[in-house]
Amino acid sequence: MPPTPKTAGKTSDELASASNPKIAAAKLKRLSDEKVLKLWRKKCPELRELWQLDEPVDKWEGITFDGDGPSKGKVIAIELDDMDITGELPFEIGGFTSLKVLALDGNEITGVPSSIGMLKNLEECYLSNNLLKSIPPEIGECESLETLWLNNNRLRKLPTELGNLSSLQTLDVSENELTTLPKQLAECELLEQLDIYNNPFKNLPEEFGEEGLLEAQGCNVVREPIN
């Protein structure tokens, strides 16, 4: 059967993740972190230039493994700020199930896959200064997430599932194109800092107003940039 316009040009991995993400996620979990890194490198021309195959992956720039090394170990930090990475992050990013820090500020990333919800140990996620127009609802499944930077993107809407982030302490969504915020954010009882300035808000729920619920819970809502 010939490919449809929606599937033409896509790889088998992309088709699998789109048609049955649960099966794709299960396959991803069986891969070593070293293999996942090499799959990511294969899909990203900027990383092919940065990471050389004749070098061990634990020596690749921006990658930190735990003490077990690349053969049996797990990636715990990815720090690739300002590396000119373009396009959407691949589905394989969800394979780093022990990842604690994901730092990709200052690139040209246009999308985040639903598989980010597989990162149950992720504590810090930095995606500021990119080209993101949306964030998948699965971000709400990152139960350990404490810090999330999404500032200086092109976001027009945030998923209500952000309210499921029970560990969230810092959220920066300043410098975007947001016209409102999901009131479910007020359910993040540990939230201490919320930066929302420089957005064209039209209808902001009362939870985010002065003396609103968030401030009553001890959150510092930053509505104006600090010089």
So what CATH class is 16-222? alpha beta
Residue 4 has a pLDDT of 47
Report residue 227's pLDDT band, with 50, 70 and 90 as the boundaries. low
DSSP-based three-state secondary structure for 221 = strand
Q: Is a pLDDT exceeding 50 seen at residue 10?
A: no
Residue among 172, 111, 181, 116 nearest 143 (CA): 116
pLDDT over 90 percentage in the chain: 79
For residue 11, what pLDDT band results from cuts at 50, 70 and 90?
A: very low
Give the span between the Cα atoms of 115 and 24, in whole angstroms. Answer: 9
Summary mean pLDDT of the chain: 90
Q: What is the pLDDT of residues 132-149, one digit of tens each?
A: 999 999 999 999 999 999
Strand pairing partners for 75?
65
Helix axes 12-19, 21-29, angle to 10 degrees: 120
**Residue 72: DSSP 8-state:** H
**At 18, is the pLDDT very low, low, confident or very high (cuts 50, 70, 90)?**
low
- Give the per-residue pLDDT at 105: 98
pLDDT tens sequence across 61-113: 999 999 877 777 899 999 999 999 999 999 999 999 999 999 999 999 999 99
Taking alpha carbons only, the member of 137, 129, 126 closest to residue 154 is: 129
Torsion, Cα 86 89 95 100, to 10 degrees, reads 80
Query: 37: helix, coil or strand?
Result: helix
Residue 1 has pLDDT above 50, yes or no: no
Separation between Cα atoms, residue 223 and residue 32, nearest integer Å: 43
Percent of the chain with pLDDT over 70: 91
SS3 171: strand
For the record, the structure tokens of 74 come out as: 């797990």
Domain boundaries, the chain: 16-222
pLDDT at 8: 44
So what's the pLDDT on residue 71? 73
